[in-house]
Chains A and B, each alone.
Chain A
Amino acid sequence: MRTWLTEGLAPLQDGFLRDLGRLLLVTVALLSFLSAAAAWAVNAYFGRTVSGLIGGVGEYDFMLHVRADAKARAERQLAAYLPKAFPGARLKPGLTVAGQTNFFLALPPDLRTRSVMENIDSAFSSIPGYSGHTTLVEPSIVIHGVASGAVRFFLERFERLPGVAVAFADGRDLVVAVERNHKPEEVERSVKALLGQYRLVEVRFPMGYRVPDLRQAGEQVAEALNRKFGGEAGNKAQDVTRSSRADDSQSFLASLTEMRRFLLSYASDIVVKMDPGVNLQRGDEVVVGQRIPPPGSKLGPGSLRVMITGVEGRLAHGVAVQGDTAPPGQSSAEGVFPAGRAFRVKPGDKVGAPVGTATIHNQRYALMATVDESLRLLNQLQLLAKHADRTAARVQLTLDSYQETLDRLAKAQSTLEAAHRGLSGPLDGLGKVRTDEIVLVLNRTVAGIDDLLGKMSGVAEAKAAMDLAAEAAGPGLPQTDLLSQIIGKINPVTALLLKWRAQAQSLALQVGNFGLLAQNAGGVKDFLGDLSKATGSTLTAMQAIDVPKLKADLEEISRRLEGIAQIDVDSVGRQMRYVRDSLPDLKDEELGRSVRLIDRYIGGEVIPGERLQILVPAGFPAKQVSAEVRAAAGEKVSTAVSPAGSLKPDLRGLLFQVLGKVRTTVAGLMAVALVAAVLMLDHALIISALRTGWKSRRLPRWWTAGAAAVYGAGIGATLLSAVFALSGAGLPFIGWPAVAALGAALGLLTAALAGRLAPIDVGELEAGQAMGLSYARMLREIVIPEGRPGLLFLLNRREMIFPQPAWGQAGAKR
């Protein structure tokens, strides 16, 4: 009993397998060739176009851009200039694209030096219409992201690497040109390795932090690092800080930063004193207020929401992002108000756990209060000045009177002494004493003293008013103190003068009333003596004051006070009120939103330019470096460690890579199309014929369909995979298994459609069978010649007993 396998495989005997194998080999070879050829043609076409645009790989060193309108003149000048300036250089005009004409420039080897390469722009700046260049040096490795201060350092090291022809700076990039006979990949590896030996540590200073001398600070940090981690030479951190370029974007960034600083100082600074155990972070949101609903409840639209912008110790600072800090009832010169408790904001705008106690610090309110206070003070000061001036004037008068009184006292003194002397002689001498004269002198002196005292009480009155004004004016004026000192010097004399006046009056009374000095000559004589003595001490006390100097001081004080009095307080007040009223009326939430916007834009950039760049060996432990930097430059600095530089995929290389992809894709598409065609033309026929052969045999039902599917899938997968492999084809996003699967799918489709793609005349086959033709023979003589003309058809011609012209009678039916 024959099994289904031998039955099923029976048609494959008598050379059929050999024919099939040969067909597959030829198919794969031909299809691979065709796919590869199509891909090559596409590649050649695009490659030429691309070369026209950007030059072939490594053909030219630079592309010089010249304005299209200046092309002719530029060309003439270049022709004259080039042989002189760059002997041996080659120039080729390229395409004109978007108003730019390009010239390709190839330099002779001896001119490929760093200084030439880096000064191309200045060398060609005199060419009319010249607008810059693009570096094409190939093969080359392009590095970007190297700190500008480290560029020379790296260029020198790159040039020492084997296989490097020259290394030079090209804009912000570093170009390492590889020698022709060296493998770029090897040089790339060593460049990478060299870069990998270093890290760039960037040190940024917090907002508002100004560093007087960046260079010095940088060197200090580098030294600190070297002390800690540094080894022998070559394993040292070095400062590569460069003062940043003042380019537009950076000044814009600077303005934004200033704006942020202003807005932040203008907005309420909401300070949350964190409860123990709470740790607010920058970016957290809290809600602040006196009457916050209990945790878990929904936040109202009017709630004051605060975004934390920074944390200092246990204090978190933030800005309002929703709601306004209510204007305070009473102004406070410090601008600080309690704001109740702070709670976290939970997702869904719900009140979260309490985090601390909030105060609002508002410079705006502080400023407004200050303006008001200043205006008030200004008025007070002016009042004070007026009082002081009046006091000074009175002191002036007092001093005049003081001098007068001093003179009169001196006169009284001499009179009294004379009288005393007269009484000390023989008694009859008394008669000679002119009592009326004494009385007169005493009276005049007393009158002077009265005048002085009167003036002094005027001073006291003025001073009291002045002191009152000074008290109101707060800090007061220096002149009032001087005045008070002057007055304080004069005041003690008052008591002496009052005492003397009493004595003098009683003497005058006695002398005047009794007129008879003789009668009581002894008592009068004592009295005179006492008064004379008192006059003397009073005089001494009074003369201790340097009246002229006081007068000069007073004059100076008066002049000053007059100056103050002359200030136009009203216009100053107007001005200050104007300033106060023109302060922007921005709500806290608007300020908060603006700050947030700026933050997003500047991306946490703290102060543009204000940063240190330290190149450190990669061996320095990153975490400890950060700690050491903070120790050296301040606890508040932020540090970022980044690679010393990174390789840049060069665009031209990329373009050629894309072209390569196009090539493989074209080959892939071609392969798929060709394999599909071969399946439909050749293998549909084979499947159809096999099926007819199987039908007359005792085979399981599944065999006919199953074996055809297996044949189709197997052939499809094999063909497509083989053609892909041989033609170097590829399809985007498709790997090898997928290619095989695609081939199998095409084969399955062919198997399913075989009956329609390649109908077979069953009668002719049966006739063949009846004649004892082998299956292969029937295929060769009957099935294939009458099928569609494909590869199988062509190959089969050699096998036929009765050949026929290739397409002459093909498929002829009766």
Chain B
Amino acid sequence: MKREPVLDVRGLRKRYGEIVALDGVDLVVPAGQTLVVMGPSGCGKSTLVRCLNRLLEPDAGEIWFEGRNLLSLTPPELAAARRRIGFVFQHSNLVARLSARQNIALGLIAAGRPVEEALEAAETALDRVGLAAKADRRPSQLSGGEQQRVGIARALALSPALMLWDEPTAALDPLLVREVLDVMEELVRDGERTMVVVTHELSFALRAADRVILMDSGQIVEDGSPAKVFTAPTSLLGERYRRLLESLPGLPAEGGGRKGKGIRAAGANAGTVPRPAPRPPMAQKSGGGRPVRA
């Protein structure tokens, strides 16, 4: 079905001196789509997502978000736009001195919400990631996975129209990856948000992505449904991914799909590395939050 694009990127370019990190990227992301960005290390994935909310200044191009070019906004306009774009970092980047709740409330207060209300909303957001019980802990008192979940809650709390993820699980202990992926998949299932997810988690791409793009040397080389990209690649890089998938047991080679009906068969431990059996995600930790799995 035809939707209005939430994000429309045109001719995006970014160089670090001699290094060309983005070499003319055009990308249209319709509302509600979950887009997974994959590619070898150094291909420009991080650069792309960080440009999308102007954490990095692109050298050229246009970034149209909700009908406005982000690159022509004044600082206050940009700040307002950013509140509509959640960003989850590889490292959670929580403010060390603030509790989990305060970390989340900060953005809400900056958006103009009264402190009390903001703290309540923060609590709700924490509840969604199963961390309501640890709301008053400071980051140093939380595990890496919990920190990352607080980071997700922080992005969520602002009810963004678009969520950008830059390898949210890459810095985590493999044992903790699942709990974060579970939260992410739950969010995908909600279907409320457009998401651009940079990740190396093939399983996530296969199970949750509506669309996968492969990047190589700052350019998009494959763009399509997971099934198309991973079974009928048109590029050398796509071919390498296909072979990688073939070599992994239990992962269906056919196309990805929409939430709920997507490729889900092969069980939870699909990915670049074999994973131990997942624990039940949030319920375990939150002790009775909203069920994440259907």
**When the two chains form their complex, are residues A763 and B140 in contact, meaning their CB atoms are under 8 A apart?**
no
**When the two chains form their complex, are residues B57 and A777 in contact, meaning their CB atoms are under 8 A apart?**
no
Contact status of A763 and B57, CB under 8 A, knowing A809-B97, A814-B139: no
**When the two chains form their complex, are residues B83 and A766 in contact, meaning their CB atoms are under 8 A apart?**
no
Cβ-based interface call for B79 (8 A): yes
Cβ-based interface call for A650 (8 A): no
- In the complex, A804 Cα to B102 Cα: how many Å? 12
Contact status of A766 and B55, CB under 8 A, knowing A10-B75, A774-B75: yes
Cβ-based interface call for A13 (8 A): yes
Cβ-based interface call for A682 (8 A): no
- In the complex, A764 Cα to B98 Cα: how many Å? 11
**When the two chains form their complex, are residues A802 and B110 in contact, meaning their CB atoms are under 8 A apart?**
no
Cβ-based interface call for A553 (8 A): no
Cβ-based interface call for A771 (8 A): yes
Contact status of A781 and B94, CB under 8 A, knowing A769-B82, A770-B87, A772-B79: no
Contact of B97 among A10, A13, A775, A785 (CB under 8 A): A785
Q: Which residues of A contact B151 (CB under 8 A)?
A: 767
**When the two chains form their complex, are residues A772 and B111 in contact, meaning their CB atoms are under 8 A apart?**
yes
Q: Which residues of A contact B83 (CB under 8 A)?
A: 771-772
- In the complex, A213 Cα to B286 Cα: how many Å? 124
**When the two chains form their complex, are residues A771 and B110 in contact, meaning their CB atoms are under 8 A apart?**
yes
B residues 94-111 near A (Cβ < 8 Å) are 94-98, 102, 105-107, 109-111
**When the two chains form their complex, are residues A764 and B53 in contact, meaning their CB atoms are under 8 A apart?**
no
**When the two chains form their complex, are residues B139 and A774 in contact, meaning their CB atoms are under 8 A apart?**
no
Quick one: CB contact mask for A772-804 with B, threshold 8 Å, 1 for yes?
Answer: 111101000110011000000000000001101
Cβ-based interface call for A698 (8 A): yes
Max chain A C-beta neighbours (<10 A), residue from B75, B89, B94, B97:
B97
Q: Give chain A's interface secondary structure class.
A: loop
B residues 132-161 near A (Cβ < 8 Å) are 138-140, 151, 154-155, 158
Contact of A786 among B55, B78, B80, B96 (CB under 8 A): B96
**When the two chains form their complex, are residues B96 and A801 in contact, meaning their CB atoms are under 8 A apart?**
no
Cβ-based interface call for B115 (8 A): yes
Cβ-based interface call for B93 (8 A): yes
**When the two chains form their complex, are residues B89 and A696 in contact, meaning their CB atoms are under 8 A apart?**
no
Q: Which residues of B contact A813 (CB under 8 A)?
A: 96, 140
Residue of A nearest to B98 (CB): A802
**When the two chains form their complex, are residues B111 and A764 in contact, meaning their CB atoms are under 8 A apart?**
no
Residue of B nearest to A808 (CB): B97
Contact status of A801 and B109, CB under 8 A, knowing A767-B95, A812-B97, A814-B139: yes
Contact of B57 among A696, A766, A770, A773 (CB under 8 A): A696
**When the two chains form their complex, are residues B115 and A801 in contact, meaning their CB atoms are under 8 A apart?**
yes
**When the two chains form their complex, are residues B76 and A781 in contact, meaning their CB atoms are under 8 A apart?**
no
- In the complex, A10 Cα to B94 Cα: how many Å? 24
Cβ-based interface call for B56 (8 A): yes
- In the complex, A795 Cα to B75 Cα: how many Å? 25
**When the two chains form their complex, are residues B106 and A771 in contact, meaning their CB atoms are under 8 A apart?**
yes
Cβ-based interface call for A570 (8 A): no
Cβ-based interface call for B91 (8 A): yes
Residue of B nearest to A804 (CB): B97
Contact status of A770 and B55, CB under 8 A, knowing A764-B94, A764-B96, A801-B106: yes
- In the complex, A774 Cα to B78 Cα: how many Å? 10
B residues 108-127 near A (Cβ < 8 Å) are 109-111, 115
Q: Which residues of A contact B86 (CB under 8 A)?
A: 770
**When the two chains form their complex, are residues B57 and A771 in contact, meaning their CB atoms are under 8 A apart?**
no
Q: Which residues of B contact A172 (CB under 8 A)?
A: none
Contact of B55 among A10, A13, A769, A814 (CB under 8 A): A769
Q: Which residues of B contact A782 (CB under 8 A)?
A: 95
Contact of A772 among B59, B89, B107 (CB under 8 A): B107
Q: Which residues of A contact B54 (CB under 8 A)?
A: 696
- In the complex, A802 Cα to B115 Cα: how many Å? 9
* Minimum CB–CB distance for B107 against chain A, Å: 3
**When the two chains form their complex, are residues A777 and B110 in contact, meaning their CB atoms are under 8 A apart?**
yes
Q: Which residues of B contact A697 (CB under 8 A)?
A: 57
Cβ-based interface call for A761 (8 A): yes
* Minimum CB–CB distance for A800 against chain B, Å: 10
**When the two chains form their complex, are residues B57 and A764 in contact, meaning their CB atoms are under 8 A apart?**
no
- In the complex, A696 Cα to B16 Cα: how many Å? 12
Contact of A766 among B93, B105, B111, B115 (CB under 8 A): B93
- In the complex, A801 Cα to B94 Cα: how many Å? 16
**When the two chains form their complex, are residues A772 and B80 in contact, meaning their CB atoms are under 8 A apart?**
yes
**When the two chains form their complex, are residues B107 and A771 in contact, meaning their CB atoms are under 8 A apart?**
yes
**When the two chains form their complex, are residues B93 and A767 in contact, meaning their CB atoms are under 8 A apart?**
yes
- In the complex, A770 Cα to B93 Cα: how many Å? 11
Q: Which residues of A contact B57 (CB under 8 A)?
A: 696-698
- In the complex, A53 Cα to B102 Cα: how many Å? 65
Residue of A nearest to B111 (CB): A772
- In the complex, A13 Cα to B75 Cα: how many Å? 9
- In the complex, A774 Cα to B106 Cα: how many Å? 11
**When the two chains form their complex, are residues B79 and A774 in contact, meaning their CB atoms are under 8 A apart?**
yes
* Minimum CB–CB distance for A12 against chain B, Å: 10
Q: Which residues of B contact A766 (CB under 8 A)?
A: 55, 89, 93
Residue of B nearest to A810 (CB): B97
- In the complex, A814 Cα to B57 Cα: how many Å? 29
* Minimum CB–CB distance for A337 against chain B, Å: 99
**When the two chains form their complex, are residues B93 and A763 in contact, meaning their CB atoms are under 8 A apart?**
yes
Q: Which residues of A contact B87 (CB under 8 A)?
A: 767, 770
- In the complex, A771 Cα to B151 Cα: how many Å? 11
- In the complex, A780 Cα to B29 Cα: how many Å? 36
**When the two chains form their complex, are residues A773 and B110 in contact, meaning their CB atoms are under 8 A apart?**
yes
Contact of B106 among A10, A763, A773 (CB under 8 A): A773
**When the two chains form their complex, are residues B93 and A771 in contact, meaning their CB atoms are under 8 A apart?**
no
* Minimum CB–CB distance for A13 against chain B, Å: 6
Residue of A nearest to B81 (CB): A772
* Minimum CB–CB distance for A250 against chain B, Å: 85
Residue of A nearest to B141 (CB): A814
Residue of A nearest to B72 (CB): A2
B residues 155-179 near A (Cβ < 8 Å) are 155, 158
- In the complex, A781 Cα to B108 Cα: how many Å? 13
**Can you name 15 A-B residue pairings with CB atoms under 8 Å?**
A13-B75, A14-B75, A764-B96, A766-B55, A768-B95, A770-B82, A771-B110, A772-B79, A772-B107, A772-B110, A772-B158, A773-B106, A777-B110, A782-B95, A802-B106
The 7 closest A-B pairs by CB, nearest first: A771-B107, A767-B93, A770-B87, A763-B93, A772-B83, A772-B82, A772-B79
